[in-house]
Amino acid sequence: MSQTHDLIVIGSGPAGLTAAIYGHRAGLEVLVLGGPAAGGKVARHHHIENYPPFPGGVTGAELMVKWLAQAGQEMGAYPSETKVERVDFSSRPLSLTAGGEAFLAKSVIIASGSHPRRLSVPGEARLDGKGVFYCATCDAPLLATMDRQRALVVGGGDSAAHTALGVLPHAESVTLVARGGFRASPALLKRLESEDKVSFVTGRVVKEVLGEEAVSGLSLEVCDGGGREEVPGEAVFIGVGNRPATRFLGDAVELDDEGFILTGPELATSVPGVFAAGDVRTTPLRQIITAAADGALAAQSAAAFVQLEGA
Ligand SMILES: Cc1cc2nc3c(=O)[nH]c(=O)nc-3n(C[C@H](O)[C@H](O)[C@H](O)COP(=O)(O)OP(=O)(O)OC[C@H]3O[C@@H](n4cnc5c(N)ncnc54)[C@H](O)[C@@H]3O)c2cc1C
For the chain, 311 residues long, give each residue's pLDDT as a single digit of tens: 579 999 999 999 999 999 999 999 999 999 999 998 999 998 877 788 899 999 999 999 999 999 999 999 988 888 889 999 999 999 999 999 999 999 999 999 999 999 999 999 999 999 999 999 999 988 999 999 999 999 999 999 988 999 999 999 999 999 999 998 888 889 999 999 999 999 999 999 999 999 999 999 999 999 888 899 999 999 999 999 899 999 999 999 999 999 999 999 999 999 999 999 999 999 989 999 999 999 999 999 999 999 998 65
Domain co-membership, 184 together with 293: no
Atom of ligand 1 nearest to the CA of 39: 49
Domain co-membership, 45 together with 94: yes
Domain co-membership, 136 together with 233: yes
Å from CA of 299 to ligand 1 middle: 18
How many angstroms separate the most distant Cα atoms in the chain? Answer: 67
Q: Which of 238, 257, 288 is the last residue of a domain?
A: 238
Å from CA of 44 to ligand 1 middle: 9
In sequence order, the β-bridge partners of residue 281 are: 261
Read off the CATH number of the domain in which 250 is found: 3.50.50.60
Half-sphere exposure of 57 (CA within 13 A, CB side): 12
Tell me which of 21, 41, 47, 83 to substitute to probe ligand 1's pocket, judged by most ligand atoms within 8 Å of the beta carbon: 41
Domain co-membership, 90 together with 155: no
Quote the CA–CA distance of 128 and 212 in Å, as a whole number: 12
Q: DSSP character for 39?
A: T
Domain co-membership, 195 together with 246: no
Domain co-membership, 125 together with 228: yes
Structural domain for 301, as ranges: 4-115+242-309
Tell me which of 31, 42, 117, 253 to substitute to probe ligand 1's pocket, judged by most ligand atoms within 8 Å of the beta carbon: 42
Domain co-membership, 132 together with 222: yes
Domain co-membership, 13 together with 97: yes
Instruction: Please state whether the predicted TM-score (pTM) of the whole model is above 0.75.
Output: yes
Q: Which of 211, 238, 265 is the last residue of a domain?
A: 238
Q: Which of 205, 238, 271 is the last residue of a domain?
A: 238
Query: What is the tally of structural domains in the chain?
Result: 2
Domain co-membership, 139 together with 60: no
Q: Which residues line ligand 1 (CB under 6 A)?
A: 10-16, 33-37, 40-42, 45, 48, 50-51, 83-84, 111-113, 116, 134-135, 138, 245, 248, 278-280, 286-289, 291
Domain co-membership, 279 together with 222: no
